[in-house]
Amino acid sequence: MENDDPVPEEEARMIEELTTKAESNLREGNHYYVISNRWFMDWQRYIGKPLHAYPFNEHAQPSLLPNSATRPGPIDNSDIIVDNGSDDLQLLRTLEEGRDYVLVPQQVWEKLSEWYEGGPALPRKMISVGDANQLSVEMFPLCLNLFDTRDKSHKVIRLSKKASLHELYSIVCRLKGIAAEKARIWDYFDKKKQTELVASNQTLENSNLQMDQDILLEVHAEGSLPSGFGIDSTGNDLALVPVEPPRSSVTIAGGPTLSNGFSAGYSSIAYQGSSLNSTYGDMDDGCDSLRPTSKGERGGLAGLSNLGNTCFMNSALQCLVHTPPLAEYFLQDYTEEINRQNPLGMHGELALAFGELLRKLWSSGRAPVAPRAFKGKLGRFAPQFSGYNQHDSQELLAFLLDGLHEDLNRVKQKPYFETKDSDGRADEEVANELWRYHRARNDSVIVDICQGQYKSTLVCPDCNKVSITFDPFMYLSLPLPSTVTRTMIVTVFYSDGSGLPMPYTVNVLKHGYIKDLTQALESACCLRIDEYLLLAEVYDHRIFRYFENPTEILNSVKDDEHIVAYRLLKRVAQLTRLEICHRYQEKCVRDSSKASERKLFLTPLVTFLEDPRNGADIDFAVHKVLAPLRRKAFISSAPGLKDGAENGSPSETIEEPMNSCTIQFGCEGQSIEGIEPAGNSSVELAFHFCLTDERGTTCRPVAKDTVIQPVRMLKVMLDWTEKEYELYDASYLKDLPEVHKSGLTVKKTKQEAISLFSCLEAFLKEEPLGPDDMWYCPRCKEHRQASKKLDLWRLPDILVFHLKRFSYSRWLKNKLDTFVNFPIHNLDLSKYVKSKDTSDSHVYELYAISNHYGGLGGGHYTAYCKLIDDDRWYHFDDSHVSPVAESDIKTSAAYVLFYRRVKAQQNGVVGGSSQCHRHS
């Protein structure tokens, strides 16, 4: 480390200050820099804590990282850039923030670069996205392939999606050395002329240009038109009608718009054949998007082009456009129901975009459709789906269903209702009342066919107050209960010094929670009723994190980690926690010029202090917790140490370090860095220890009369001398077992399988609310961890099940590939519906599935959809569509299931009605 480089604590403080300052001054145009997470984590370990304040580092882990004495080398971003041998540095497209990289403000980058050098520098600009102008860092600028018609050459151009068409013309003309008035640039998506890109202030994003797509340059003499103008290689002249520069913007339906974005007179103007053209493209089929139409022959078999990681969108869209009542609705004239004034909607533009796309997919033919205009609208109204990252098809479905509802809400002025408590009234009365209130404010085709109602019962654990509500739902998110177990080894320590540490082997559900591990350990170690277990992960002889959230998923614990549990009396839970780490003094034998230093070793211990006042109280607590390790030679009533005990570690002598450095035990008065010299009052204590901070970077020696302030937690470093090694058997604190040691010949287990009914029952079962989701009890006037029970009350015609395959925690993202066995026909939910109203059938049949294959970050979405009229299933994999046997649609990739109600038999015909209807 250079002499002018700050120490770790100073680095952390300076970077925190710069980050906070940058966060308070967020604005469009700010520069952020990309840093490899591999290097950044090394630096965080060096300073002893992560900086979680970065506004764009959502996955940063806010717990303390173990401090490392090793200063990282130069900044190294080589693992996140494409090695293409050129100076044009590009990021890998598969990068994920928090996992592969972090974003730091320009001032932070400059400071880190000053201290560490290295690189390369990877600056990125902050832009505003969507109509709400949300700020976001543009990680991947738009990449366009420029084709020159003169020499058939091509060149890659990269610029921000917020750049204007004027800027595009300027770059192209400068690159090609031509005058702007001689250039014509075409949207050349899918190697076809789509629309001329007229030089204007319109952004590339609003021109529906996609990542990696082609644009075409034509150069002609001034005043002349290029050969072939008005017709492309396919003979399609619809897209080549000269287009005037837009006065403001043009809606997705192609009609002229007013300055506020509302289309003027949809129902009267509609589409005037092909005489109106949108600069947004995607309107190249020449069909009237608003007049009533019908399904074309063999319609519904068109795929959707992948525009760059848009398989999630294509999968969700195919499931929706193959929802029979939705298809029938949008193939009719629905314009009178468009709600342009709804502040919760998108001025009707989302509904028009979806309707236009649905009509294309249901028109005759199988040519893939490129949903560019729809994606553009989606990015405007839901910036979280803009760009080219992979997203979640269920999250998109939730947004689309809600957005379509608001755009098509027939209620223009929503009435106000004051909801009343049930107060012992009959469930039917309360449910019907709340449903009427809901329908009076929400009335659309989405509510008609997709919304149901469930009953929610909350019970206060203190006063037994029962609260019953009835809430609408659009889909049901079902957990996947696991039956596969996992073997875990956890070492249990007695925090009161009443016994030796003991490793226990327990079996828990593989996809369970920390509370499941805790319960298994409580049973294994015969925990008393007045005790509880405090679980923690030990890393590098420090406590890396405590597991104090019982709902944290067990998948956050890796097999190679070291987990411990401390037995504590319940009555001490609110007292001062004392965390004890151990150090020894190391002296390098081969290089006598090097000064000896203190090194961490052994397993940390945890105990509690009752009203600590001075150093003597800490000394007594340390003496007590170490008591079981006292050697027999020095204590007549030592605890029985059983060599080779079934669940214990055998007693053994201390091993010498396996390098050239050996443990150097100094005399009690030896002076070391951070410790007062000989002669201070610390010799009155039985142990040498010092108070330290959370990162372990400071050390304040503790004497008998050192005043201890009342705090929630104290951390001390216990310095072992030769005397401690003679008195105590430290082997019990060494060599913690890993959570699970995988054998070389592990027998492959059969794939886990559960039923859809098991998932539904897990969703409906009674369970306590999480600590972060407390309920305010109106009787206690306090937030309580109430128990909650859900019941189905009213089912919709279209019932959507979301299987919760993805789990997220502070530490881990995980996907469950559990096979869920779901019915294709005759899904009978009668026994789960608590309403006594039997007017509607509770039997359903499957018609669509959104599938997810692969893991997180690199997965792929497809869809299985049934053409009801043909009674045949098809596989929709982006632009590729192929028939699939019904027997093959059940896979472990099933993610979102779409069912439609099977109507009761009427006039000898069984099946769904052909028209949407409203619930009363």
Active site (catalytic) residues: 311, 860
Q: Which residues pair with 819 in a beta bridge?
A: 753
What is d(CA 79, CA 821) in angstroms, rounded to the nearest whole number? 41
> Beta-carbon neighbour count of residue 302 at 10 Å?
22
What is d(CA 816, CA 234) in angstroms, rounded to the nearest whole number? 46
- Residue 914's Cβ-count burial label (10 Å; 0-12, 13-18, 19+) is exposed
**DSSP character for 539?**
E
What is d(CA 914, CA 907) in angstroms, rounded to the nearest whole number? 14
Q: How far is CA 769 from CA 116, 458, 802, in A?
A: 47, 9, 21
What is d(CA 836, CA 839) in angstroms, rounded to the nearest whole number? 9
CB crowding 101-137: b at 16 or more within 10 Å, else e: bbbbbebbbebbbebbebbeebebebbebbeeeeebb
Give phi and psi for 902, each to the nearest 5: -90, 115
What is d(CA 185, CA 243) in angstroms, rounded to the nearest whole number? 13
> 753-755 and 819-821: which strand pairing?
parallel
**DSSP character for 214?**
E
* Biggest CA pair distance of the chain: 109
CB crowding 194-209: b at 16 or more within 10 Å, else e: bbbbbbeebbbbbbbb
The amino acid that residue 657 corresponds to is P
> Beta-carbon neighbour count of residue 235 at 10 Å?
6
366: left (phi over 0), alpha (psi -120 to 50) or beta: alpha
Q: Could you tell me which of 48, 67, 49, 51 has the C-alpha nearest to residue 59?
A: 51
The CA-CA-CA angle for residues 38, 43, 45, to 5°, reads 100
The CA-CA-CA angle for residues 196, 202, 204, to 5°, reads 75
The CA-CA-CA angle for residues 830, 833, 834, to 5°, reads 130
- CB of 561 closer than 8 Å to CB of 537: yes
What is d(CA 511, CA 816) in angstroms, rounded to the nearest whole number? 8
> Beta-carbon neighbour count of residue 426 at 10 Å?
10
Q: How far is CA 623 from CA 103, 394, 510, 618, 728, in A?
A: 47, 56, 39, 9, 11
Helix (H/G/I), strand (E/B), else coil: 896 = strand
Residue in this structure with the two tokens 């269903």, named with its chain if needed: 401
- CB of 810 closer than 8 Å to CB of 61: yes
